[in-house]
A and B are shown apart, each in its own frame.
Chain A
Amino acid sequence: QQQVKQSPQSLIVQKGGISIINCAYENTAFDYFPWYQQFPGKGPALLIAIRPDVSEKKEGRFTISFNKSAKQFSLHIMDSQPGDSATYFCAARRSQGNLIFGKGTKLSVKP
C-alpha cells in the first residue's frame, strides 16, 4: 500500500515557467511534510518542509501548499531554471520519525 502518492512521474517545463508537483497521503497521523531534491548519484537534499498546522510556506522560488482536509500538498517552483532539473520527492513523517517517500518526479527545465 503506497502511503504517499506523487504525480506527475515526469515534468517538462520551459525556463521561467512554473513547475507544480502534487502529493496525496492517507495517514492522518503524519506530522511533517518535507520535499527533497535529488541529483543523479547524490543523496536527497531537503528543499522545503511544512507542518500540517500551516497552509502555505514560501522560501525563495519554492512554495508548499498544504490542504489538510483533502490530505494533499504540492510544491510550486516559480521561475524554473535549468539548474532545477532534478528528481523531486515528497515525503511524510511518521510519528516514530522515519519518512515515507513518494516515487519521485523527474523535472526537466528546458532553456
Chain B
Amino acid sequence: DAGVTQSPTHLIKTRGQHVTLRCSPISGHKSVSWYQQVLGQGPQFIFQYYEKEERGRGNFPDRFSARQFPNYSSELNVNALLLGDSALYLCASSLETGASNQPQHFGDGTRLSIL
C-alpha cells in the first residue's frame, strides 16, 4: 500500500511569491496534518484537517492556509513568502482525528527554499 505522498519534493521560490504544497494520505485515512521542520529543529505543527474541516491550528501567521478535499487529500498554501519560510514541510495522515490514539504517518516532505 502507498504511504503518504507529497508533491513536489523540492521547490525554489523567491520572497513575496505564493506556494501550494500537496499531500495524499494513506488510503482509508481521513485526517491530514501539516508540520514545518526548519533545519536542525523538530517538526512544528501547522494545521490538522479532518473531514474537510480545520480541527487545529498551530502558531503560524495567516499567510499559511490549508484545505482538505472530499478524497481526503490536502493542500497547504503559503502567501507572501519570507526567507524564514525555508523549511521541510511534512504531511502526516491518521485514521481519524484525535491524536491520542491514532499514530500519525508521515510523508517524505517538500523541501521549500526561498531565495
**Are A and B subunits of one complex?**
no
List A residues at the B interface (Cβ < 8 Å). none
